[in-house]
Structures are given as C-alpha cells and as structure tokens.
Amino acid sequence: MKSVFFYVTRTMGVTGALHTNGEVRDNRVFHKLSCYITQEDLIQPLLTVQEIMLVAARLKLPSHTSEKHRLDTVIVIIIIIIIIIIIIIIIIIIIIKYQN
C-alpha cells in the first residue's frame, strides 16, 4: 500500500502535507511513536478478554480519556455481555423445558 501511495503522489503531481492531530507530521517522530499491529498478533491467545478489550479501548477511545474511564467502560461492556449470555441460556432452558 505504501508503494502505491508514493507511486500515485510522485507520478500524478499530488502535493500537500500530511497532518497528525492537526499538525504537520514529522516523519521521524511519527515513526518512533507509531507501529503496525497485525490482526493475528501471537500474544493475543495469552491475554484475557479484559486485556484484549483494554487494548481496543486504548486504540478507539480519544487520547484524553483516562485509564480509569477506559477500564470502567470495558467492565460495563463485559457485564452487559454476561447478562445477555445469561438471558440466552434462560431462554434455551425454557424452550427445552416446554418441548418436553
């Protein structure tokens, strides 16, 4: 993808500046602060659901969001998921009971 971007910008006369958080991006600083994370990270199987969701929260929520707020958000989502699973189990039990 990077080579396509450079090919198009060099051959088609595209000009301009890249901005990060509203400021012209300094590539040296940007490369030190950023990295590519693959979807199939090898460490993922070693993390708990909460840890995986915290990583996602750190990536998705605004940078000014406190770590406590991120953790609270993750815990609320996990509780909601658990409640939904319990409701589904209860519905399955009721269906099985009335089929017999």
Going 31 to 37 to 38 to 39, the CA torsion angle's sign is negative
Q: What is the CA radius of gyration of the chain?
A: 22
Domain span including residue 37: 2-99
Write the pLDDT tens digit of every residue in 2-15.
566 666 666 666 67
pTM: 0.54
For the chain, give the mean pLDDT. 81
Q: Which residue has the tokens 């009335």?
A: 98
Q: How many domains does the chain have?
A: 1
Q: Is 38 exposed, middle or buried (0-12, 13-18, 19+ CB in 10 A)?
A: exposed
